[in-house]
Amino acid sequence: MNPIFKLILLAAAYLLTYVLGSCTGLIHPACYAYVGAVLPLLTAFIYLLTCTTIRGFGAATLLNGFVFVMLLIAGEADTTLAIGFVILTALAEIIRYLCKYDTLKGIRWSFIPFAFSFFAYTAHWWFDTEGSLAAAVEEMRAGYDQLMIPVIDNIPVLIIVLVLTLPVAILAMRLAERSLKKQTEGLK
């Protein structure tokens, strides 16, 4: 398969994980707020394939950059998302550079900060609570904003979910490695 076409498909698949994660909010606000802890089970495969296609700088930048541009076009991007994406993407790219681009170790370690990317998308709930509640009144069903308040106020659960994202990311990458052995053969 043409590498450019493959990267376009991977970026689109990564964007689809954001759409999927966002749609969980239709079930309950807690699903939207915390789904980022389980999304690495999907995004690890996309990230691993992107890293094996781009054997240098750019895998995390391509994926988060594409999602950011699409969210910007859709009017869903904000300053919190931009800052979160820049920090998490830079960490992933730096770690991958330090561990060497052609190593599985570099992909594994760089996926850890990258796995938290969906939380940059949902962070506006905690950094712009007033604006998020106002948007919920306009965009969601009646009473949704009232369901959001206990989720936003429950900081201990948010911390637990963020901590749990780490082992999920590690497990997800191991599963991706085992499933995609052929793609990782050339890595050290």
Digit-coded pLDDT (tens) for 77-92 = 999 999 999 999 999 9
Q: What global pTM score does this model have?
A: 0.93
Distance between CA 72 and CA 70 in Å, rounded? 5
Q: Which two tokens stand for residue 52?
A: 């094996």
Distance between CA 65 and CA 44 in Å, rounded? 17
Residue 35 has a pLDDT of 97
pLDDT digits (tens, 9 = 90+) for 36-92: 999 999 999 999 999 999 999 999 999 999 999 999 999 999 999 999 999 999 999
Q: Which two tokens stand for residue 99?
A: 């561990």
Does the structure show a pLDDT above 90 at 102?
A: no
Terminal C-alpha separation, the chain: 23
Confidence of residue 115 (pLDDT cuts 50, 70, 90): very high
Q: Which two tokens stand for residue 166?
A: 């780490």
Residue 182 has a pLDDT of 84
Helices (H), the chain: 3-23, 29-34, 40-53, 59-73, 79-98, 104-114, 117-122, 124-127, 129-139, 144-153, 155-179, 181-184
Q: Are 44 and 169 in contact (CB under 8 A)?
A: yes
Distance between CA 115 and CA 110 in Å, rounded? 9
Which one has a higher pLDDT value, 157 or 135? 157
Which one has a higher pLDDT value, 187 or 41? 41
